[in-house]
Amino acid sequence: MGKNTDPLARALAALEAAPPDPARPVLLAGPTASGKSALALALARAQGRVIVNADALQVYDMWQVLSARPDAQDCAEVPHLLYGHVRRDQDWSAGHWLRAVTQLLSEHGNPVIVGGTGLYFRALTEGLVEIPPIPQTIRAQADALLAEAGRDALLRDLDHATRDRIDTANPLRVQRAWEVLQVTGQGLAVWQDQTPPPILPVAATTAYVVRPEVDWLDARIADRFAQMMMQGALDEARAALPHWDPRAAWAKAIGAPELIAYLNGQMSLPSAISAATLATRQYAKRQRTWFRARMQAWQDLFGRAD
């Protein structure tokens, strides 16, 4: 028999041949469409673990298909926690997620924590400072300033230390830093310097990262979005249309803005599908960049460097 060239099959075989310590939590990070959910399911099934979501979009109840949330069959096999439990009108942040995971760790000592949201893994393994909540009046002010004057208008008010630390190309990160400054009178960098010890240091876990070849992942992304369309992704977007707010956290589901644009008559369906597939590839690239920078000590299940 020839050597198996499928990286996901090789990763599954590697986990079977050298399983992690069943008493330790497993962290499993990877870009979208990389097969990490299948790896998590195999681990949980083999070692009697629960699966805990670490994806910021799979928490929302309206995105079953578009967020590639585990289906009913997978959830019947193994408990899946923190999936699809947040409504669009609920506040949800890395802090909310960390508090929920802290409680789950007291109930389940060896979960598989799986996802693609680097900020969640960072909060868990490096610590997260509790910043006072942002009043709606400040958020509305920031929304208006961003819409009228753009990201640079918010950036100008930030201190140098904060600008050096955040992703200044990301309007959401810039707005968050601006809001924190307005509410607390201190820059986000000052708050970050007060970060408490982590809830779950990497050294107390078995930490895996999935870093596939770009061409392999791009092909999977295209195939998966085509499957999503057949499974009802457009129906999910249609249901969200009356509530659509492109600035909302739930509206960041990859592919949703493009399908909404089609439903609003702003592009054809083939163009929307093509644009959504491209957006997914770009998102996966950002994830790979994060993992490469911050997860160098994690074991690469695909056995390669990105």
Q: Does residue 13 fall inside a structural domain?
A: no
pLDDT computed for residue 258 by the predictor: 98
Kindly report, residue by residue over 229-284, the tens digit of the pLDDT: 999 999 999 999 999 999 899 999 999 999 999 999 999 999 999 999 999 999 99
State percent of the chain over pLDDT 90. 86
pLDDT-derived band of residue 304, with 50, 70 and 90 as boundaries? Answer: low
77 shares its domain with 206: yes
Which helix (H) or strand (E) segment is 52 a member of?
strand 51-53
Residue 17 lies in a domain: no
CA gap 101, 103 in Å, rounded: 5
Range of 262's domain?
214-287
What average pLDDT does range 110-135 have in this prediction? 94
Determine, yes or no, domain membership for 169: yes
My answer on whether 218 and 208 are in the same domain is no
In a domain, 16, yes or no: no
Average pLDDT over residues 279-306: 88
Q: Which residue has the tokens 């599954």?
A: 12
Local confidence band at 173 (pLDDT 50, 70, 90 cut-offs): confident
Q: Do 250 and 264 fall within a single domain?
A: yes
Number of folded domains in the chain? 3
Per-residue DSSP letter, 290: H
Specify whether 159 is located in the same domain as 252.
no
Is residue 305, in this structure, part of any structural domain at all?
Answer: no
CATH at 220: 1.10.287.890
The model's confidence at residue 4, banded by pLDDT at 50, 70 and 90, is: low
Please check whether residues 154 and 46 belong to one and the same domain. Answer: no
153 and 50 within one domain: no
According to DSSP, the β-strands at 112-115 and 51-53 are parallel
> Does one domain contain both 183 and 76?
no
Residue 14 lies in a domain: no
Q: What are phi and psi of 218, to 5 degrees?
A: -60, -40
Q: Do 106 and 168 share a domain, yes or no?
A: no
Q: Which of 35, 19, 66 is nearest to 302 (CA)?
A: 35
Q: Is residue 223 part of a domain?
A: yes
- Flag whether 125 is in a domain: yes
Is residue 204 domain-shared with residue 153, that is, in the same domain? Answer: no
Does residue 241 share a domain with residue 183? Answer: no
149 within 8 A of 175, measured Cβ to Cβ: no
**Are residue 120 and residue 208 in the same domain, yes or no?**
yes
Asked if pLDDT for residue 300 goes beyond 60, the answer is: yes
Q: Is 109 exposed, middle or buried (0-12, 13-18, 19+ CB in 10 A)?
A: exposed
154 and 59 fall within a common domain: no
Q: What is the CATH number of the domain that holds 166?
A: 1.10.20.140
